[in-house]
């Protein structure tokens, strides 16, 4: 009887080991299957990012270090001649200066307008849907279509604005709004504010609606005024949204092209030449040099990344806040 006890214990131990091995195999199989399922889900996204983003960036980097004409194609490496030629171009300083002025002007006007519209629509009860629809209508237009519309409005031949401004004494009847550097700049800023105010209003409203109403109710019970609630509750909790809209606005303004290409083509006398318009000229008009265009594109990309990082740090937006 005593001799059967170790044999039974051995069988129990063997069964336990076999069971543990089987459990580990099943767990590894399940983990492998989950991993394969995860890769199956992300593979289309990885392929799209690689084809549509990483490959073009890699091509631009190669072109920036190459002698690559529009009609002749690749003619060998010449790095860093393209960057040296771009930095030596006298038009670059004017383009950078105008782009920065346009970016500052657009952002300073557009962001407060969008914030005010978001507050107006949120607080409005009776006309909420009408206001929201009216403000969002311009956002349904493409920037090229909106530019063509304003080109007609600014036209001294067919536009309705020239007679109005002439009666107010602000300009001659037959002169063009786009004919002076200042007029062309402000005319484009008006177009951009009209086109994008509704878009940024919606983004701001999403941030406003994420703020708990209980905070405002508690502040009201404590006697806080609307201005105090705006300074102490709305603006601090809206910081991630403000950071995102600022980044979008500044990046979009630094990359401005369509509106200036349609309205002014960089004129008069290159006074509204933006950096991206200069890239276009390098590639397809004056130089027909894709290498120089790529080199300036790389510089713009570096500046955009640096500006975005600086904005996030300046606004104190952490990753945790940005994920909310």
Is the pLDDT reported for residue 163 higher than 80? yes
Mean pLDDT of the residues in the chain: 88
Residue among 262, 263, 264, 301 nearest 279 (CA): 301
**261-315 residue pLDDT tens:** 999 999 898 999 999 999 999 999 998 999 999 999 999 999 999 988 888 787 7
pLDDT at 291: 94
pLDDT at 2: 45
Task: Decide if 83 contacts 64 (C-beta within 8 A).
Answer: yes
Is the pLDDT reported for residue 52 higher than 80? yes
CA distance 257 to 279: 10
Any idea how long the chain is? 324
pLDDT at 198: 92
CA distance 8 to 46: 55
pLDDT at 17: 64
**What stretches of the chain adopt beta strand conformation (E)?**
66-69, 73-77
Mean pLDDT of 189-207: 94
Q: Copy the structure tokens of residue 13.
A: 């131990």
Residue among 267, 299, 282 nearest 98 (CA): 267
- CB contact set of 180 (below 8 Å; sequence gap of 6+): 268
321/72: higher pLDDT: 72
CA distance 213 to 220: 11
| DSSP string of 280-324, one letter each residue | HHHHHTSS-BHHHHHHHHHHHHHHHHHHHHHHHHHHT--HHHHH-
Q: Copy the structure tokens of residue 282.
A: 């390098």
Global pTM? Answer: 0.83
Is the pLDDT reported for residue 57 higher than 90? yes
């Amino acid at each position: 009887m005593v001799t059967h006890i170790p044999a039974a214990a051995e069988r129990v131990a063997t069964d336990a080991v076999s069971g543990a091995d089987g459990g580990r195999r099943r767990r590894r199989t399940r983990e492998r299957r989950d991993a394969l399922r995860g890769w199956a889900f992300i593979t289309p996204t990885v392929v799209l990012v690689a084809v549509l983003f990483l490959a073009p960036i890699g091509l631009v980097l190669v072109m920036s270090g190459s002698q690559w004409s529009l009609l002749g194609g690749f003619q060998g490496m010449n790095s860093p001649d393209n960057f040296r030629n771009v930095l030596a171009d006298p038009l670059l300083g004017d383009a950078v200066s105008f782009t920065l002025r346009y970016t500052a002007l657009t952002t300073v006007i557009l962001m407060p307008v969008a914030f005010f519209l978001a507050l107006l629509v949120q607080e409005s009860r009776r006309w909420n849907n009408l206001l929201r629809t009216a403000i969002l209508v311009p956002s349904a237009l493409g920037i090229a279509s909106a530019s063509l519309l304003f080109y007609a409005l600014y036209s001294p031949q067919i536009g309705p604005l020239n007679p109005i401004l002439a009666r107010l004494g602000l300009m001659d009847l037959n002169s063009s709004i786009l004919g002076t550097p200042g007029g062309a700049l402000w005319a484009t800023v008006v177009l951009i504010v009209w086109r994008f105010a509704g878009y940024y209003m919606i983004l701001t409203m999403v941030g406003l609606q994420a703020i708990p109403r209980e905070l405002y109710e508690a502040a009201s019970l404590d006697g806080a005024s609307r201005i105090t609630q705006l300074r102490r509750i709305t603006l601090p909790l809206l910081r991630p949204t403000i950071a995102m809209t600022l980044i979008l606005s500044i990046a979009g303004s630094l990359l401005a092209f369509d509106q200036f290409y349609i309205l002014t083509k960089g004129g008069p006398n290159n006074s509204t030449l933006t950096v991206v318009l200069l890239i276009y000229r390098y590639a397809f008009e004056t130089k027909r040099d894709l290498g120089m265009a790529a080199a300036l594109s790389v510089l713009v990309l570096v500046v955009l990344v640096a500006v975005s990082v600086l904005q996030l740090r300046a606004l104190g937006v952490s990753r945790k806040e940005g994920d909310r």
